[in-house]
Copies of this chain bind each other. A is one copy, B any other.
Amino acid sequence: MSKLSIPRIVKMPVEMQATDLLRDSIVNGTIPSGARITEVQISDQLKLSRATIRTALHQLAKEGLLTLVPYTGWTTVSLSARDVWELYTLRSAVERLAAQLVAESINSAKSSRLNWAFDGLVKECKKGDKSRIAEADFALHKTIIQMSDHTRLASQYALIEQQIRMYIRSSDALISDITAIIEQHRPIVDSILTGDVEASGHLSEQHNLTEGKKLSDHLKQAEAKAAAAPAPAAAIKKKAPAKAPAKGRAMRVSALPKLR
């Protein structure tokens, strides 16, 4: 077959560029979670036609980042504690499979690649920059996914990761005990390296489950606090000035990065 490894320049329709840009903006918080956005607003800012933007928005909706109410508007999702639970249970199942597949097919090339990713995490932990640690953490997990050589698993994982990133952005708290992170991941990596299918799967699963529970609990607590001191939502009716645009017209979103 023609599996030549020519770089093969990739065509990037504007459509896809716009999709990526918007996805980034949502995931990294430029467009805040729960925000209402409109097609014309985006198309104006990006200088693209509404049809193009529309396609992009539909894509993102399919990815679970947006919801569309017909004839009314688009809204970025805001994740609840239940959503986080769903995300992490799913993630644990997917990562378990990936770890098993990699352990099953481990070889020297994969070993060095896995070690490289793990070393990256170790280094960042020693430096201490939390956001960089989180990034290296993601990278290690993603490396395992990619090494499983399973396109559907990978694309499924990408969706989950996106939404998790979104949540982590919105809740600033996450990493507590830095030194523990290394020891949490080391057994997973080791079991994969030694080809222990059972252990690698089990450890991966448990790691995600506990991690997810931690985040979910944190969010539940935050939700409870929010419920105790609710925003002044119901009281004012008419002339209320500056107020969260919970139901009103679409809010103006701060400047999006330029296309291209």
Chain A residues with CB under 8 Å of chain B are 11, 13, 51, 54-55, 58-59, 62-64, 70-71, 86-87, 89-90, 92-94, 96-97, 101, 150-153, 156, 160
Contacts and interface: CB of A to CB of B under 8 A. Distances in A.
A66 to B, nearest CB: 13
Given A51-B51, A58-B55, A70 B13 contact: yes
- Considering the complex of A and B, which 9 residue pairs feature the smallest CB-CB distances, nearest first? A93-B97, A86-B152, A62-B62, A93-B93, A11-B70, A90-B152, A86-B150, A90-B153, A51-B51
Interface residues of chain A: helix, strand, loop or mixed (majority): helix
Nearest to A97: B93
Nearest to A80: B1
B152 A64 contact: yes
A151 B86 contact: yes
Given A86-B150, A93-B97, 17 more contacts: A51-B51, A54-B55, A55-B55, A59-B62, A62-B62, A62-B63, A86-B151, A86-B153, A89-B97, A89-B101, A89-B153, A90-B97, A90-B150, A90-B152, A90-B156, A93-B96, A152-B160
Contacts of A156: 90, 156
A153 to B, nearest CB: 6
A174 to B, nearest CB: 21
Nearest to A98: B93
Nearest to A155: B64
A179 B89 CA distance: 35
